[in-house]
């Protein structure tokens, strides 16, 4: 005897950019929708007539996000709850939304300092010591000044070219200190050079921005001889809203975690 | 001065089903592709002419998976390494593949017992004790006998109907014991009833299968009075290979982890 | 034929408090030590004569941390590498240290805003909507003004009383809004009240501080009717350095993640 | 106004070995204890007189585990609930226990196949391909035939010698195939050689067992030229029950996850 049931969609990832002012606004939400109501025969008879697909719930989140401003997560959760409460058979809606806060770096760039770690590897062998230090997992995002075009196309290429996309990464940098370095406060100067360059760069690719960041780091600190940067490309995909009669002028994105691009390189200080 | 660089795509999730024999075969891979070569000007000049997109690498994984049998992960890793080594500018390819093993339950059903936990909540208040026990995170997958059709369509519905899809879940079940129950070895009988029903059921939806599993569990153990099942729907999406001139007869899938459907219900033993 | 070997201790968790100035300084490190050298017969003959135990490496980290100031993670990594390089048989030492940065809240209190999420649950049923919002996973730590004494002792109690300990938690708060609330910017005022109270409170227990935090939140925002706080007690254990002839005046701690205390309560606004 | 409160200890890790029969039995539990009752003044007045420490709850779990047989997690959860319900002020106890199942390998050895992955790295450069494959995260545990003694002691050594301890690890192995290898089904033979050797070896150290495992793998498969093994030492610490007037004859352990020892080595096939 079925005594209670609930169903819905979980972890719908939504990133919305408000580009209406010189300073872009960013809201980053993860949303769960759950419905209760007259759905018993879906369970007992395999009759899907009352069963709004959870895929439709996901689509609805993106379509409604396009159609209303979202200043606070609360407004959007209330709107979704109201919307789904009017669907046939629904007696109770639970919308759970969590917002990932981002700190502003620049008018079009943001950081999540949360998982950031400062790293250090000291290796001692044969009387000599190598010291390689860095910053790991500093999450950065820019809402414009990032392109990817002019790439070669083969039989398996479907990616459209773009002159304006979101660029997001979780930066890991590690640099090698000259022997006898003692001024380790330089870490914060290197970190600033990396972050500021990410924010300001006119990016043709992750590779292009990586190179600029590495050059800036080497210029910022005479004590480092080389730097390795590892930049995953945390893809933010523009949601196709045309099936719903809506445009999407670079506003509504789905943040994905896999697969991801991974770009790595080492830059060394040039001998004079 | 750029001294080393590498780029590629990470965590391409591939599930391939071989339906050519009465017993389906399943291979579940996570693949990283990394290229080294003559890519410096991508970094230094923002010139993407040599830069095969990582999105194309992902597409290639799925297209090649369609075109060759994969009996062992090693064969496929070798094939990918050979394929990418012929791309312009490439001097070194590294393909890292990891295979998730699945244990066979039935000709078309599989389990990953890995993260399975056996759970128990004993609550004592006012001299009485409630005992709710269960199984958590038992991962199950069936390659056929699962449909989802006949559902309502609204303005935001794009999901096609299907009579044959992969159904995968990480089952959590918890059941309530009658007071004074002492035979806890019944857990394995309940677990078998749940798993066998999952494997054998002609599923019209996750809800439909959940109900059948719950009924089987209650029938299997007189000591339990109710059971709650929580079944996330771990979507396996059929890859669209038409852009590459290939069909995809329910063989090549991308396994996704978010968003996911979430189906929950409680069944109680009917009074006689 | 053994061609390479390395061994060591990983994830040694060290928190050191410098109490020498009115503003306490905090350094939070996770350290791995790895040794290479003349250890073959440990592997091939089961002869442990050359094998400095990894448990000793862990002890050494804490003992050296007591004996030197640590202003930068780099200094300590270099010191450890030098120390272990002098042990018999060692030809190469690799010390990997990562520092978790903390932001200062007050002279003796710190925060990790990293994993912080802003949460919201909107529930709609019978034409009415409930709105419960909050902050999750805000990590807070204070280096003083926290006691735990005067508790009952039974046959299984071994915990010593303390008037001065580290108090650390990952706060989750959720509060209920009055119907028709529209000013959701109040979230930041509630958050500040919670954080400031944590920092300033003379704590007799996690429970005691939780209650003060809840009262402050309710006082800060007329629109909230109740608040639930969940405070795990992330134990920081004072390391016993007496076996090494060293005292430990509340300076060197091991941060643990399990088991942990878990303190929860709900406070409701009193009717006038 | 405080309207609800609850407190307790979470994630108490308990491993108990029953050595009374030729086949050892192993039970691996993670336990949360939560109490509700007359604890208001702990919150409101900072008065800890009614507040049984959560540290005592943890001690109680280990002490009771020593004093009763645990055949099923349910029995132990019920016993804990009953025990804590008699403590002063308690009106409700919630004990949540989850059991990690282990599969038997041998009379004194067990495996968790759960997180196991099969790995493969194909690297192609200069027309040649390297193929390095393996098994990752295969969790193994043996309840006897493991010693660690005869090691050097320095000023920071406190570890006692032992001739009988639990040895647990999450094995990662990767082996290199000869060029032109095509029989990849050999993986299962290598895996068996590794696992069987772990189970049967009279271990003087993790290093000693690692070497035996590597030798067995190389002997099992002519197509592999070298193997690298990485064995974290997942320490299981014997709980000191003397403060409670109890002995602990290698029966009750706390499973820890950090810090951990890490032992790595490469073995190469000897030229004939």
Report B:84-123 residues touching D (Cβ under 8 A).
84-85, 91-101, 112-123
Q: Which string of b and e fits D65-95 if b means at least 16 CB within 10 Å?
A: bbeeebebbbbbbbbbbebbbebebbebbbb
With beta carbons under 8 A apart, name residues in chain C contacting D48.
Answer: 148-151, 204-205
Taking only the tens place, the pLDDT of each residue in B25-83 is 999 999 999 999 999 999 999 999 999 999 999 999 999 999 999 999 999 999 999 99
With beta carbons under 8 A apart, name residues in chain D contacting B184.
Answer: 72-75
Please give the Cα distance from D269 to D272 (Å, whole number): 9
pLDDT value for B185: 93
SS3 B212: helix
Would you call D66 an interface residue with chain C, using a CB distance cutoff of 8 Å?
no
Handedness of CA B111, B113, B116, B118 (dihedral sign): positive
Averaged pLDDT score across all residues of chain A: 97
Q: Catalogue the E-assigned strands of chain C.
A: 2-18, 25-37, 90-99, 103-106, 109-112, 117-125, 128-142, 167-177, 224-233, 236-238, 252-255, 260-268
Please give the Cα distance from C50 to C48 (Å, whole number): 6
Q: Which CATH class is domain C104-235+256-268?
A: alpha beta
Instruction: Name the residue among D81, D116, D124 with its Cβ closest to that of B82.
Output: D124
Cβ contact C112:C58 at 8 Å: no
pLDDT value for A272: 67
Would you call A129 an interface residue with chain C, using a CB distance cutoff of 8 Å?
yes
SS3 D79: helix
Burial class (CB in 10 A: 0-12, 13-18, 19+), C150: middle
User: At C170, is the pLDDT very low, low, confident or very high (cuts 50, 70, 90)?
Assistant: very high
DSSP C32-59: EEEEEES-HHHHHT---TT---HHHHHH
- A264 CA: distance to closest CA in chain B (Å): 5
pLDDT value for A114: 78
Share of chain A above pLDDT 70, in %: 100
Taking only the tens place, the pLDDT of each residue in A188-240 is 999 999 999 999 999 999 999 999 999 999 999 999 999 999 999 999 999 99
pLDDT value for C272: 67
* pLDDT above 70 for B272: no
* pLDDT above 90 for B90: yes
Report whether the peptide linkage leading into residue C259 is cis, meaning its omega lies within 30 degrees of zero.
yes
ipTM: 0.95
Residue of C nearest to A185 (CA): C72
pLDDT value for D114: 78
Q: What is the mean pLDDT of residues C179-197?
A: 96
Per the listing, tokens 């017992």 go with B113
Angle between helix A186-200 and A206-220 (nearest 10): 150
Angle between helix D73-85 and D54-67 (nearest 10): 130
- B8 CA: distance to closest CA in chain D (Å): 14
Taking only the tens place, the pLDDT of each residue in A11-66 is 999 999 999 999 999 999 999 999 999 999 999 999 999 999 999 999 999 999 99
Considering just the CA atoms, what is the radius of gyration of chain B in Å?
24
- C184 CA: distance to closest CA in chain D (Å): 23
CB atoms within 10 A of CB D243: 12
pTM of the model: 0.96
Please give the Cα distance from D10 to D13 (Å, whole number): 9
Contact assignment for C125 to A72 by CB distance below 8 Å: no
Domain ranges in chain B?
7-101, 104-235+256-268
With beta carbons under 8 A apart, name residues in chain B contacting D93.
Answer: 122-125
CATH superfamily of A104-235+255-268: Urate Oxidase; (3.10.270.10)
Q: Work out how many CB contacts closer than 8 A connect B with D.
A: 149
Please give the Cα distance from A259 to B256 (Å, whole number): 10
Residue of D nearest to B80 (CA): D122
Residues 6+ apart with CB under 8 A from B251: B16, B17, B18, B19, B66
Taking only the tens place, the pLDDT of each residue in C102-155 is 999 999 999 997 789 999 999 999 999 999 999 999 999 999 999 999 999 999
Residue A125 C-beta-side C-alpha neighbours within 13 Å = 11
With beta carbons under 8 A apart, name residues in chain B contacting A261.
Answer: 7-10, 54
Cβ contact B65:B48 at 8 Å: no
Contact assignment for A1 to B269 by CB distance below 8 Å: yes
CA D119 vs. chain centroid, Å, equals 23
Report B:181-220 residues touching D (Cβ under 8 A).
184-185, 187
Contact assignment for C94 to A121 by CB distance below 8 Å: yes
- A48 CA: distance to closest CA in chain C (Å): 23
Burial class (CB in 10 A: 0-12, 13-18, 19+), D52: buried
Q: What is the DSSP letter of D161?
A: P
pLDDT value for A20: 95
Q: Which two tokens stand for residue A233?
A: 């490309």
User: At D113, is the pLDDT very low, low, confident or very high (cuts 50, 70, 90)?
Assistant: confident
Cβ contact D22:D82 at 8 Å: no
Query: Is B235 an annotated catalytic residue?
Result: yes
Residue of D nearest to B83 (CA): D124
Q: Which CATH class is domain D7-101?
A: alpha beta
Given C16, C176, C201, C235, the catalytic residue: C235
Share of chain B above pLDDT 70, in %: 100
With beta carbons under 8 A apart, name residues in chain B contacting A28.
Answer: none
Taking only the tens place, the pLDDT of each residue in B91-147 is 999 999 999 999 999 999 999 977 899 999 999 999 999 999 999 999 999 999 999
Residue of C nearest to A90 (CA): C125
Please give the Cα distance from A191 to A118 (Å, whole number): 10
With beta carbons under 8 A apart, name residues in chain A contacting B46.
Answer: 203-205, 208
Please indicate whether chains D and A are in contact, defined as at least 3 beta carbon pairs under 8 Å.
Answer: no
User: At C63, is the pLDDT very low, low, confident or very high (cuts 50, 70, 90)?
Assistant: very high
Averaged pLDDT score across all residues of chain C: 97
By C-alpha distance, which of C31, C11, C36 is closest to C75? C31
Mutation for C interface: D6, D31, D49, D55, most C CBs within 10 A: D55
């Amino acid at each position: 005897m079925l005594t209670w049931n609930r169903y819905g969609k979980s972890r719908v990832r939504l990133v919305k950019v408000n580009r209406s002012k010189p300073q872009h606004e960013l809201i980053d939400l993860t949303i769960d929708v759950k419905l209760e109501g007259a759905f018993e025969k879906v369970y007992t008879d395999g009759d899907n007539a009352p069963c709004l697909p959870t895929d439709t719930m996901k689509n609805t989140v993106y379509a409604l996000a396009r159609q209303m401003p979202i200043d606070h997560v609360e407004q959007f959760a209330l709107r979704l709850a109201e919307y789904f409460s009017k669907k046939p058979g629904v007696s109770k809606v639970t919308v759970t939304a969590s917002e990932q806060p981002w700190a502003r770096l620049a008018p079009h760039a943001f950081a999540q300092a949360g998982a950031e770690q400062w790293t250090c590897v000291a290796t001692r062998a044969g009387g000599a010591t190598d010291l390689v230090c860095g910053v790991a997992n500093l999450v950065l995002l820019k809402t414009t000044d990032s392109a990817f075009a002019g790439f070669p196309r083969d039989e398996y290429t479907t990616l459209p070219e773009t002159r304006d996309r979101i660029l997001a990464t979780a930066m890991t940098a590690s640099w090698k200190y000259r022997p006898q370095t003692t001024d380790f406060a330089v870490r914060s100067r290197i970190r600033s050079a990396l972050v500021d360059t990410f924010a300001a760069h006119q990016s043709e690719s992750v590779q292009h921005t990586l190179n600029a960041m590495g050059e800036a780091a080497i210029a910022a600190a005479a004590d480092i001889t080389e730097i390795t940067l590892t930049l995953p490309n945390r893809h933010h995909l523009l949601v196709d809203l045309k099936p719903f009669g809506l445009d999407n002028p670079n506003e509504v994105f789905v943040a994905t975690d896999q697969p991801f691009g991974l770009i790595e390189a080492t830059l060394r200080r040039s001998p004079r």
